Structure formats: C-alpha cells, structure tokens
Amino acid sequence: SPLCIGLLFGGQSGEHDVSIISAKAIASALSHNPRYQVKPFYIQRDGTWRSPDVSQQVLDNGKGLEESELLTNAAFFLPTEVQQIDLWFPVLHGPNGEDGTVQGLLQLMHKPYVGNGVLASSVGMDKIAMKAIFANAGLPQVKYVALNRWQWQQDQQGWSEHIEATLGYPCFVKPSNLGSSVGISKVRDRKQLQEAIASATSYDPRIIIEQGVTAREVECAVLGNEQPQASAIGEITFTSDFYDYETKYTAGMADLIIPSQLPDHVAQAVQSMAVKAFQTVAGSGLARVDFFYVEATGTVLINEINTFPGFTSLSMYPKLWEYSGIPFTELCDRLIDLALERK
C-alpha cells in the first residue's frame, strides 16, 4: 500500500504565504508517484490545524482561507486524519514551524519526518544560539553583540558605547529568533541604533547586533544525513540597501544567479563551510547555508543556516539542486528517503 504522507503547511510565521506556494509545488511533485498518497494539513495563521479536505482547497487555490472560512476559538486539536499518516513532510518556515516546535510534536507522534530534528531546527532559528555554536566550531562570521531587552533597559548608554566601540557603524540590529528579514534594521548612528533596538525587541526579547559588511551574498544547499552533499553555489543580487523583506518577496527586486561566478577556491570554501555548519547544528535532510563573500579581502563569512529554506519552484534551494543534477521531483523523493533512513 502507498506511503501516506502528511504535508504540513501554512503556519504562524510571516512566511505563511510562501509556505503555501512551496507546499503546492511539493504536492504536485509527489502526486506523480504511485508510491505516495498525500494528505495535506493546512495550519492557519493562529496555529489551528485543518483537515485534509479543507487543506486541499487551500493548496488548489494557492492562498490561505478567507476570514469566514477560518476555524476560530478552537482549543488546540489535531484532525483525526493525523492517525493515518506514515511520514510527515513539514513545509513550514519561521517560528512555530522551522524552529523545532513542530518537529517536537512530530517526534512525539513516533513517525518519520522530512528534514531537521528538534535540535538543528531550534539552533538554526535562534541567531544567538546559532552564532555561539558556529563560533565554537571555528566557522568565521561577522563580529556581533548579543543582548536582551532587560540588559538594554538597564543601561542603554553603556550598551550603545560598547556597540560603537566593538562594531561601529553601519551595523545590523536583528531579533534573535525570526527570519525573512522581519524586524531587521541597518543603522548608521546612535539615534537609529536606539530606534532599531526598540523595534527588534518588540519582536523578540533576545536580539543581536552585527558589524555591517560590504559583501556579495552567496548561498549553498546541503542535502543528506550523515554524509551530506553540498550543491553548486548561488548568489543573490539586488539594488536595495540590503536583502530586506520587501526585496525578498517583491517580484523583480532580487535576482538569483546560478552558479555564482566565484574563484574555485572560494566556491570550495563555501561548500565545505556549508557542510560543516550543517553537521555542527546536527542537521538532517536539508538546509540552505548563507554566506557573505567579502570580495575586497577574499574572505568568506557564514551568515546563517536555514533549516527549511524556501521551496517554491523558483526558490534558491531547489534551483541549486536542479543545477547540480537533482530535479525537483527527485529532490522530494530523496528527502523522503532520507527521513525514512533516519528513523
């Protein structure tokens, strides 16, 4: 009998809509294989799980439900069809999806699931934890200061001076636990710094401030469990000040270049750092690892690992594998096989 795959999508983060598009692409790829029977589970923005029939409508429409179709005030419950699932395929980005919370739930269901486990997901989502673990592994990264809301409120003057002395301007202020550039500001003076910290702490009590670098942004896809492979390298180009939310999600504001034109030794350094980063967070299945290539000095710095990267047919992760010889449908098959192998 076919393997019953639970496709989880939507979710509570700012990447809700992207998740729907990613899930639609994956559902379509899986539908061609008689080995699989797919049951979709749409998670509303408030976290409510919907049954496969309603979820299928969301997939077909490629967008979330209308206000009137939402289930409201429901106590948390799982649709009964959850019992029929042999393997989970979570297609969720950001907090409450990519950060280990859903992975913990799936773990407790005692079924295999695609992608990263609890530890890799939570470490990858929290920039302070991620940077500490990368530093411990000797991976080069930008200078940064980690801070929490309470520390900042105690001594704004002292922290401002410390940040200026250690990082200088411009610097980037970020919520520790988010994605899609939400809550991130690039700041150039003390006043902007203070405003940016007020903004970032409204998203997350934990924040990180980083030295700004002038660099090319290159990305590498990783696939595998114990012996992960690195893909060719892609590059993001744009004309805006940085790769902010608008640039990421407005058609035509950024270009994906595959492969990135890099000296061979730089490309190799990126690939080996991508695999090392993946192994350092105890990754499994997949990840996209993002880097800054400071051309002026020839330096490669790791920026972050994304444990469930964008997965639409136009996204960097599947595009990189397609270029590297693994088409979209085969990529989905491989991820399922990797999940079964890990069990």
Q: Name the binder of 126 from Mg ion, ligand ADP, none, CB < 5-8 A by kind.
A: none
Q: In whole angstroms, how close is the CB of 181 to ligand ADP at the nearest point?
A: 4
Residue type, position 149, single letter: R
The candidate with the shortest Cα–Cα distance to 309, out of 184, 220, 216, is 220
Q: Which of residues 189-218 bind ligand ADP (CB under 6 A)?
A: 210-213, 217
Give every strand in the sheet of 171-175, ordered side by side: 144-148, 206-211, 171-175, 185-187
Q: Is the CB of residue 92 less than 8 Å from the CB of residue 13?
A: yes
DSSP state of 67: G
Q: In whole angstroms, how close is the CB of 227 to ligand ADP at the nearest point?
A: 27
The answer to the question of residue 180 lying near ligand ADP (CB under 6 A) is yes
Answer positive or negative: Cα dihedral of 295, 300, 303, 306. Answer: positive
Give every strand in the sheet of 87-90, ordered side by side: 36-43, 3-10, 87-90
Applying CB under 6 A, among 152, 243, 278, 311 the residue interacting with ligand ADP is: 243
Q: In whole angstroms, how close is the CB of 303 to ligand ADP at the nearest point?
A: 5
The answer to the question of residue 14 lying near ligand ADP (CB under 6 A) is no
Binding window for ligand ADP (CB under 6 A); candidates: 1-9, 43-51, 173-181, 316-324:
173-181
Binding window for Mg ion (CB under 5 A); candidates: 20-28, 163-171, 191-199, 301-309:
301-309
The candidate with the shortest Cα–Cα distance to 19, out of 62, 68, 60, is 62
Q: Which of residues 213-242 bind ligand ADP (CB under 6 A)?
A: 213, 217, 242
Residues that bind Mg ion (rule: CB under 5 A) add up to a total of 3
Strands 171-175 and 206-211: antiparallel
Taking CB positions, which residue lies at the least distance from Mg ion? 179
Q: At what angle do helices 127-136 and 118-125 cross, to 10 degrees?
A: 100
DSSP state of 186: E
CB-nearer residue toward Mg ion: 126 or 304: 304
Q: Is the CB of residue 271 less than 8 Å from the CB of residue 220?
A: yes
The answer to the question of residue 309 lying near Mg ion (CB under 5 A) is no
Would you give the binding string for ligand ADP spanning residues 62-91, x where CB under 6 A is met? Answer: ------------------------------
Size (the chain), residues: 343
Is the peptide bond prior to 259 cis by the omega test (within 30 degrees of 0)? yes
Would you give the binding string for Mg ion spanning residues 163-192, x where CB under 5 A is met? Answer: ----------------x-------------
* C-alpha 84 chain-centroid distance: 28
Applying CB under 6 A, among 91, 133, 142, 266 the residue interacting with ligand ADP is: 142
Using CB under 6 A, list all residues that contact ligand ADP.
Answer: 142, 172, 174, 178-181, 184, 210-213, 217, 242-243, 290, 303-304
Using CB under 5 A, list all residues that contact Mg ion.
Answer: 179, 304, 306
